[in-house]
Structure 1
Amino acid sequence: MKRLFPLLTFLAVALISMVMAGFAYFATQEATRIKFEATVDDAISRIDTRLDLHLTMLRATQAFFDAHGNHVSRNEFQAFISALDVGVNFPGLRGIGFLQLVRKGDEELAERAIRQEQGLDRKVYPEATQQWRTPILMFEPLKPSSDSVIGFDMFSEPARREAIEAAMKDDAHHATGPVMLGGNSGVEPYPGFIVFARLKQDASPGTVATSTPVTQGFLYAAFRANELFQLALRRIPLLPVHVEIYDGEVEPQRLMFSSATPAATTLGGIVDTRRMNVAGRQWILQFQPTSAFSPPSSRVIPVMLGLFGLLLAGAIALVARYKERAYHAAEQLHETAEKSLLEKDLMLQEMKHRIKNLITRILAIARQTASRATDVKEFSDSFAARLQAMAASQDMLTRSRWQKADLSELLRIELGQVFGKDLPDGLLSGPQVLLDETATQALGLTFHELATNALKYGEAGHSVDALKVEWRMERLDRKRMLVLNWRESGQEGLAEPASTGFGTKLIDMNITRELNGSIERRFLPSGLQVEIRILLK
């Protein structure tokens, strides 16, 4: 739990910081949304005001016709429109026209009116199969290049016919969906929409069906969509919005207008959708901020708050980690001190034991050398050589620490220390086995103790031929096991000792504790046999 405390501290502080940064982020988003909604309200107001101004023009023309009993000549109509100066005062308005309502088959009535008012010998076009015909009789401002619109039957086109049929039923204004204007006047068609208003008369002429007894014809206003909406949005101050206007549904074919300035891609995809009812049509307006839109507060604040929280969490976690490490170091220091005292005591006992063994080995070597020497010089040379070999072997063991030691070489060094370098052939037998540092140290001390005991108490003290060491490898649960047999022969009347000395305890501790192995001693009449089993890494 102590080790997990820094991590838990970091997670807790980081979580609190992230929650605070999240609240700050959502507050920033909400403030941005509110500010953008206010901007959209301004844009809606501009569009609505512009549309209402232009429809007022249509209502004024309707009142003009009503004041003249719906009998207005072309000159009167032209003078009225010219006085209003449509091109200057009503930008986006293509013009205002008059449609006469006649039955199919009575087109001659409209054609006669065209000759009287326009001086044009014009047939109603195009051919149509509908019950009603609504040819254009007047349109202002009518440019010389656009007089071809006179006589065009708007009832023949589905989008216009839908709005005209709606206008026949009441006195309200009715708009078309998106249509292409200008095609009948010889110019490049452009997107727009048309608004129709019914004209009534006191008594129904014979050419009008009884279902619509008061409808004489229709006034209509044609609007250039792009020009109308652009002028509405380009008032100072400019609004940082991108708007798309759809008729009825948000579909590509229903798009009436799209701003030229693209929407910004760095403000989280803000979209504000509004609806407007314009002359009986439902418009959907989708607003998005442009790159000129500036949020009320920077998004850097939540990011900086989150980063600061993470840094604070990391700092607190580091302090907790250092404190935990200091506490752990103090515990380890205490444990190390206690362990050092125990190891010191063990080392003192081992040192005393090894000194005794060393003296014993020196005396044994001296006795064995003296028994075979013929004179003092031979004894001195042989004895000095064995002591030098023992010292060299001891020095090599101390310096190398056997990072990877060969078992056979380890036995030769340890046995050479005890019995001298000249070991007979056949004393050691077994495959090559490489030992790690732990096994090398433990087995080196074990072989040293076994050899010393053999020298002190066994027949090997008189002849090293009485000793045989064999080993083999076995498999145990996919692991390698070393099996080593130490055999001493030539003794008579060997019996198990009544007490256990320090050397025996040291051997058992090395095999069972250090190497997690096992050791078995058999005191046979012919001599001692020791079997050691350890698992190798």
Structure 2
Amino acid sequence: MKKFFPIVAFIAVALISLTMAGFAYFATQEAARIKFEAAADDALNRIESRIDLHLSLLRSTQALFDARNGDISQNEFKAFFKALDVDNNFAGLRGIGFLRLVKAGDEAAVERDILRDQGVAHAVYPDTTLPWRAPIVLFEPLDPSNRSSIGYDMFTEPVRREAIEKAMADDQQHASGLVQLGQGTGAAQVFTGFLVFVRLNVETAPDVINASRSSTAGFLYAAFRAEDLFQVALSRVPLLPVNTEIYDGAVKAENLLFRSETPPVSLFGDRLLVTRKIMVAGRPWTVQFRPTSAFSQPSSRAIPVMLGLFGLLLAGAIALVARYQERAYDAVSLLHETTEKSLQEKDLMLQEMKHRIKNSITRVLAIARQTASRAADVNEFSSSFSARLQAMAASQDMLTRSRWQKADLGDLLRIELGQVFGKELPEGLLSGPEVQLDETTTQALGLTFHELATNALKYGEAGNSVGALKVDWSLEGHGRDRTLALNWREAGQKKLEMPTKTGFGTKLIDLNVTRELRGTIKRDFHANGLTVEIRIPLTA
């Protein structure tokens, strides 16, 4: 028995070492899979966030058309598009346009409207036997390379027509399949991309009838260059070690929208392939991710081989292998637990971010509609709308720097007043104790201070000298029953009188204070100027 003991011991050690080597190998593969799935989900979130940003621009354009009941001229549309600064803010967007929906045979009326707006005659083309026509009548940017697209009937092209017919049925955005942008219009360049359509309704009931009746006037659409759009979304720092392929629908060569320039690593094969399904404007996409050469595995593949060799050569390595097994198991469990926790936290953060983006978009759309309905022209709309967006952005920036925790009241006032009166504010303009504001209060007060400062610049003595303005605040009460009392004083020789008509800015101030913050606001127009008293309960 003793002479067989070395053989038995050798076989036992060999079995244990081979078992442990196999366990370590599979643990390494599992850790690599979890790590790469996290990178793939990060890339997917970047793509979805970029698409949501571009689709919000189409919603804002729809709000402008709705506010004007579809009556937008070429010059107004051009000024609106120019104010968006698309090249710097919306990379991958080829342009935004408007299709007029008419019955076949009514092309002459559309051609007259195009001649009136463009100053150049454009025929509706190509010929068709379909009952409906949807020619392009507005498009920006309208440079010489795509001017020939005016008059092009998108309803004649099957892929575009499918999305247009879906948009005719409801008020939702609908994406087309893969299209070659510029093809059929005589454009100098052709890009692979997709289109998103949304129906535009106009009121058609006569003024003497107390009823609301609407019909479809046409469709707003946005054209996207797929390569530019996704390249920008994935090029954010830090760069992710993923090769990305995006397909319209099923994974087929003819459905390929985008493929990363960096090739995948053949070493992994399809073992780390991650496939995700997403919906873009009602259309299903398939996104596939593969690791690139920049992807590094959590642990070295040489470890299982070393364990096997040491186990076979050293009989005394049994204890060491057992110890490594325990450590390897704990390490894998800890890595799995940490990764799961990280994914849960990331999912929670993404849900919170989506919620905040949705709220911000709702507020931006409301401001856009109200500003557009009261603006005399597009330039006034662009100026007012941009100023209010900058006020919202300043509040968001303060909260971002503090990781969405708190913002200082004094700093908020300095930023908002600095945007209106200039960064050099006189001494003594602001006075009060340190007050930390939460997210809701910061955003609401940021817009409120911007509107008060704008009114003071336009109508008050502060338009001549910012020294005529004083802002002070104090805290009343203790603990959770504290109240912020803020006084806004505009002094001077010019007597201010209460306006006979309430503008959108004043309504926005009142809604922010009374509804958003559950506070009170009082205005006192007197011989020496204006005093505004704002009282807001602070919950913490």
Distance 1:310 1:187, change over 3 A: farther
Question: Partner of 2:313 in structure 1?
Answer: 311
Q: Answer whether contact 1:31 1:296 (CA < 8 A) is retained.
A: yes
Contact 1:10–1:314 under 8 Å retained in 2: no
Contact map agreement 1:103 1:131 (CA 8 A) in 2 = yes
Instruction: Tell whether the 8 Å contact from 1:147 to 1:185 is kept in structure 2 after alignment.
Output: no
1:70 is matched with which residue? 70
Q: Which residue of 1 aligns with 2:102?
A: 102
- Superposed displacement of residue 3, structure 1: 8.0
| Structure 2 counterpart of 1:277, from 279, 285, 294 | 279
1:132 aligned partner: 132
Q: Distance in 2 between matches of 1:69 and 1:258?
A: 41
Aligned to 1:256: 257
Query: What SS does the corresponding residue of 1:246 show, helix, strand or coil?
Result: strand
What's the CA shift for 1:76? 0.6
Change in Cα spacing, 1:260 to 1:215, as seen in structure 2 (3 Å) is: same
Partner Cα separation in structure 2 for residue 116 and residue 10 of structure 1: 94
What is aligned with 1:53?
Answer: 53
Distance 1:243-1:204 versus aligned 2 partners, 3 A rule: farther
Distance change (3 Å), C-alpha of 1:15 and 1:154: same
Distance 1:55 1:68 in 2: 20
Secondary structure at the residue paired with 1:201?
Answer: strand
Query: How far 1:182 moved relative to its partner?
Result: 2.0
- The one-character-per-residue Cα deviations of 1:178-223 (angstroms, maximum 9, x if unpaired) are 1111222422311100000110012389xxxxxx972110000000
> Paired residue for 2:290, among 285, 288, 291?
288
| CA displacement, residues 486-511 of structure 1 (integer Å, 9 cap, x when unaligned) | xxxxxxxxxxxxxxxxxxxxxxxxxx
Aligned to 1:152: 152
Matches within 5 A, 1:1-16: 8-16=8-16
Q: Using the alignment, how far apart are the partners of 1:67 and 1:15 within structure 2? A: 77
Rounded Cα–Cα distance in structure 2 between residues aligned with 1:309 and 1:284: 46
Shift in Å, 1:80: 0.3
- C-alpha separation in 1, matches of 2:119 and 2:6: 97
- The letter for the 2-side match of 1:275 is K
Q: For the Cα contact (< 8 Å) 2:100–2:136, is it kept in 1?
A: yes
**Considering only aligned residues, what root-mean-square deviation do their CA atoms show, in Å?**
2.2
Corresponding residue for residue 84 of structure 2? 84
2:203 touches 2:214 (CA, 8 Å); kept in 1? no
Amino acid at match of 1:188: Q
How far the C-alpha of 1:265 sits from its partner, in A, is 2.0
For 1:234 and 1:114, how far apart are their aligned partners in 2?
40
Note the 1:385-534 alignment, pairs <5 A: none
Question: Structure 1 residue 245 and structure 2 residue 213: aligned?
Answer: no
**Does the C-alpha gap of structure 1 residues 204 and 287 become closer, same or farther in structure 2, counting only changes over 3 Å?**
farther
Aligned to 1:192: 193
SS class of match (1:65): helix
**2:218 maps to which residue?**
217
**What one-letter code is carried by the residue in structure 1 that aligns with 2:34?**
I
Give me the whole-angstrom Cα distance separating, in 2, the residues matched to 1:62 and 1:5.
84
* 2:275–2:287 Cα contact (<8 Å) kept: yes
Partners of 1:178 and 1:256 within 8 A in 2 = yes
Deviations 1:78-101 (A, max 9, x none): 000011011221110000000000
Amino acid at match of 2:125: Y
Structure-1 residue corresponding to 2:492: none
For residues 32-54 of structure 1, the C-alpha deviation after alignment (integer angstroms, 9 at most, x for no partner) is 11111111121111111111111
Q: Which amino acid aligns with 2:280?
A: V
Asked if structure 1 preserves the Cα contact closer than 8 Å seen for 2:244 and 2:289, the reply is yes
* Cα distance between partner residues in 1 of 2:186 and 2:28: 53
3-state SS of paired residue (1:295): coil
- Taking the aligned partners of 1:285 and 1:310, their CA distance within structure 2 comes to 45
> What one-letter code is carried by the residue in structure 2 that aligns with 1:241?
V
On the 8 A contact 1:246/1:257 being kept in 2, the answer is yes
1:262 and 1:52 mapped to 2: Cα distance? 27
Equivalent residue for 2:166?
A: 166
Give yes or no for contact 1:100–1:218 (8 Å, CA) kept in 2. Answer: yes
Contact 2:311 2:317 in 1 (8 A): no
The answer as to whether partners of 1:225 and 1:257 remain within 8 angstroms in 2 is yes
Could you say if the C-alpha distance between residues 204 and 274 of structure 1 is closer, same or farther in structure 2, counting changes exceeding 3 Å?
farther
SS of the aligned residue for 1:145 comes to: coil
Distance 1:295 1:100, change over 3 A: same
Per-residue CA distance 1:419-456 (angstroms, 9 max, x = gap): xxxxxxxxxxxxxxxxxxxxxxxxxxxxxxxxxxxxxx
Number of aligned positions between the proteins? 310
Letter in 2 for 1:14: A
2 CA distance for matches of 1:315 and 1:63? 73
Higher RCO (Cα < 8 Å, 6 or more apart): 2
* Distance in 2 of aligned mates of 1:161 and 1:177: 10
Kept in 2, the 8 Å contact 1:111–1:123? The answer is yes
Letter in 1 for 2:291: P
Q: Which runs of 5+ in 1 are unaligned?
A: 206-211, 317-537
Once the two structures are TM-superposed, the CA of residue 11 in structure 1 deviates from its matched residue by: 3.5
State the one-letter code of the partner of 1:294: S
Q: Could you state the TM-score of these two structures normalised by the residue count of structure 1?
A: 0.55
Instruction: Tell me what 1:390 maps to.
Output: none
Within-5 A mapping of 1:337-356: none
Distance verdict in 2 for CA 1:314–1:96, change over 3 Å: same
Structure 1 Cα separation of the partners of residues 173 and 159 of structure 2:
15
Structure 2: tracts of 5 or more residues without a match: 207-212, 319-540
Structure 1 residue 71: Cα displacement:
0.9
Deviations 1:334-374 (A, max 9, x none): xxxxxxxxxxxxxxxxxxxxxxxxxxxxxxxxxxxxxxxxx
CA distance in 1, matches of 2:65, 2:122: 24
Task: For residue 314 of structure 2, give the secondary structure of its aligned residue in structure 1.
Answer: helix
Q: For the pair shown, which has the larger CA radius of gyration, 1 or 2?
A: 1
In structure 1, C-alpha distance between the alignment counterparts of 2:205 and 2:25, rounded to whole Å: 68
**1:49-68 deviation digits (Å, cap 9, x = unpaired):** 11111111111100010111
Instruction: Give the Cα–Cα distance (whole angstroms) in 1 for the partners of residues 124 and 179 of structure 2.
Output: 21
Q: For 2:310 and 2:244, how far apart are their aligned partners in 1?
A: 39
C-alpha contact (below 8 Å) 1:154/1:160 kept by paired residues: yes
SS in 2 for 1:237: coil
Alpha-carbon distance, 1:229 to partner: 0.3
| Cα distance in 1 for residues equivalent to 2:205 and 2:263 | 53
| Contact 1:240-1:289 at 8 Å conserved across structures | yes
Aligned-pair distance for 1:2?
Answer: 8.2
CA apart distance, 1:130 = 1.4
Question: Which secondary structure state, in structure 1, belongs to the residue aligned with residue 97 of structure 2?
Answer: strand
Distance 1:311 1:128 in 2: 82
* Cα distance in 2 between the residues matched to 1:132 and 1:50: 33
Matched, 1:302 2:304: yes
Q: In 2, distance between residues paired with 1:165 and 1:240?
A: 40
Amino acid at match of 1:304: M
The 8 Å contact of residues 178 and 191 in structure 1, kept in 2 or not, is answered as yes
Q: How has the CA–CA distance of structure 1 residues 273 and 48 changed in structure 2, closer, same or farther, with 3 Å as cutoff?
A: same
Moved over 3 A (4+): 1-12, 312-316
Equivalent pairs: percent with the same residue? 61
Distance of 1:151 and 1:173 partners within structure 2: 23
